[in-house]
Structure formats: structure tokens, C-alpha cells
Structure 1
Amino acid sequence: MSTGVPQTRLRTVLSVAAALLIADVVTKCVVVATIAPGRHIRVIGDFATLTLVRNPGAAFSMATGMTWVLSLIAVAVVIGVIRIGRTLRSLWWAIGLGMVLGGALGNLVDRLFRAPGPLEGHVVDFISVGWWPVFNVADSCIVCGAILLVGLTLFGFEPDGTRHRSDRVAEKEGDEEDSEPVK
């Protein structure tokens, strides 16, 4: 039964986040159980390897003494994404925010449940590619989700499902409206 009012995309945000959280937790558990610290498993020569690293900080091992602050930031991100997700109408925004949420939750799980203790746990990183610092599935979800959201913003796709069009395009097409619905 349709009421004519578009439904929000919170379910999509949560589904994407749950799938990515599961993938992150499972891969970290497998890596911790099978790779000794300091051991490198070659995937593509020396370019891509699996290497177990326990990271007490943020990306690039920054803020290593501030793990509890990073935990609180992750909690704020989770709350913020869920609040925004309740108003979303755009599928692509829901996917991007779901990726960010899944990644934030993945690293938050480590900070809450891994040694040395709650809010201070070290994040398990294991993917090493070229000169890039070692990362994990959650990190890649956050980065890819953020890139998607920036791209959507740059191309005028709004969280409410409309597309903001430049004045030049509107004039060219003789259209007086600034936005059009996007599915």
C-alpha cells in the first residue's frame, strides 16, 4: 500500500552497514587466528601483502595516545549517520552512509573489545598495498563511502533524493526548477 510519500532509506543504510560490519569482523578474526604478527603473506608479489598490525591510533597511526577520544568520535559518527539516515530518500546516499557507518562500527568494535581494554582497544589492520599504510576492511569502507558522498555532492545529488542542477543547465534546457527527483 503506497501513501504517495517516499520512504526513507534507513533500512538500506543499516543493511549496508551490517553486511560490511560482518565482513570486517570476520576478516579480522581470520587474520588474528592465522597470521603471526610481523609475518607477511604475499598476495601480489611485494606490492600487496597481508600483515597483522595492531593500531592504537587513527589512520596512519596518528593520535596513538588518544584511543578513547577516537572511540567517542566513532560513537558520534554512528549516532550522526543514523539520525541522517532517518531522513534520506536517495539510494546512493544511503549506500555511502551505510559504508561509513559499517566502517565506523567495525573499528569501534575493535576499540571496545580488543586489548588493552574498553575504549582503548587496538584496531586490527592487515591489508598492505604498495607504500600505503596497512589498513582493514572498515577503513576501506569509510574511505570509499566518503568518496561516494563527496562525488554525490559534487554532482548535485541531494540526500533528499533530488538533484541540484547548475543555473547553466537549467537555462540551457529552459527549465525553471533547480531540482529534479532522483531515484
Structure 2
Amino acid sequence: MRLVAIVAAAVFVIDQLTKWWVVHVMELARVGAIDVFPPYLNFRMAWNTGINFGLLSGQADWTRWILIAVALGIVLFVVVWMRRDPPGRTGLIFAGLLIGGALGNVVDRLLYGAVADFLNMSCCGFTNPYAFNVADISVFVGAIGLALFSGGKNAS
């Protein structure tokens, strides 16, 4: 469980620092967009009140609290799972990614009322209309990793 906590803490800190930097130092919330290495990497400010790809956005304020509760429920489920049946080192790393990312987005919902998304990447003629953040990447990679690599204690 120590490895889960270390990975989760690292993801959480990196996520919150990057969001703080782009929102408050770079003032992306005011500027709206900064082309970093177009089209491959751009910063596009998006306040996501819903879930992935803006689903459930624009719903009542209670939706925010439901999404916070769901995220915390998932974190609790993963923590209990890792304590009862640890999947090996690789699985613990993926669990830490998922937990750290989920907690990063929970803090956004508490502080801002929405998740601060800012990364936008496009390539090869495809223009991506969506923005995401470090927490989103971590939740996605963590969930996929747990699904693929949690087959037992010997998974590495």
C-alpha cells in the first residue's frame, strides 16, 4: 500500500501544480488559449462540470456533489481492493495513478466547482475539440492498467 500512496501523492501534486500554474500564473482562464507546439500541444481552458468529454455538463449544482461522491467511492473501492488482494507491483502503480487522478479532480470540484482542463492535443489532420488534464490521463491509464494487469499477486 505504500507504493499506492506514493504514486497517488505524486500524481496528485503534479496535477494540482500544473492546474495552479496554468490557471493562476499563466492566467489561462482569462486568456483562454495558448498555442505551445501546435497542433500537437495547445493549452485550451475548459471548466468541466461533468464527466469525460463534458457529459452531464450544465446540470444542477447537485451533480457536482454526486460526482465528488462517486469519485470518492471509487477511491475507497480501489483502496479496499488493493488491501485485500494486492495485484503485484504493476497493479499497485496503476491503482496509485487512478487514486491520485481521482483525488485531483475532486479537489478541483471543491475549489472551483468544476474540473480545470487545459491540455489539448491534435495530430495528423485530426483536430481534437476536447481538453483534459494530468488527473484525467492518470485515471484513464490507471483504470486500463488495473483492468489489464490485476490478474493476481504475481503480476508485475
User: Same-fold call, TM > 0.5?
Assistant: yes
Which residue among 146, 151, 160 is the counterpart of 2:148? Answer: 151
Aligned counterpart, 2:125: none
Q: Are the counterparts in 1 of residues 91 and 149 from structure 2 also a CA contact under 8 Å?
A: yes
Which of these two proteins has the greater Rg computed from alpha carbons?
Answer: 1
2:17 partner amino acid:
V
The answer to whether residue 93 in structure 2 is matched with residue 102 in structure 1 is no
Aligned pair count reads: 144
Q: 1:8-65, CA deviations, whole angstroms, 9 ceiling, x for partnerless residues?
A: xx11111100000000010010011113335322222233201121111111111121
1:77 is displaced (CA, Å) by 1.0
Is 1:125 aligned with 2:108? Answer: no
Aligned partner letter, 2:46: V
Q: TM-score, normalised by structure 1?
A: 0.73
- The structure, 1 or 2, with the larger RCO (C-alpha pairs under 8 Å, 6+ apart) is 2
SS at match of 1:84: helix
Write 1 or 2 for the structure with the bigger share of helix: 2
* 8 Å contact from structure 2 (residues 28, 34) kept in 1: no
Distance change in 2, residues 1:60/1:89 (3 Å) = closer
Partner of 2:136: 139
Using the alignment, how far apart are the partners of 1:43 and 1:11 within structure 2? Answer: 36
Q: Which sections of structure 1, spanning at least 5 residues, go unmatched? A: 1-9, 115-120, 163-181
Overall identity of the aligned pairs, in % = 33
The aligned residue for residue 74 of structure 1 is: 71
Q: What value does the CA root-mean-square deviation take over the aligned residues?
A: 1.6
Distance 1:122 1:107 in 2: 8
Name the residue aligned to 1:30: 21
Structure 2 counterpart of 1:55, one-letter code: N
Q: d(CA) in 2 for partners of 1:89 and 1:100?
A: 14
Match of 1:63 in 2: 56
Of the candidates 40, 49, 52, which is equivalent to residue 45 of structure 2?
A: 52
TM-score (norm 2): 0.85
Secondary structure of 2:137's counterpart equals: helix
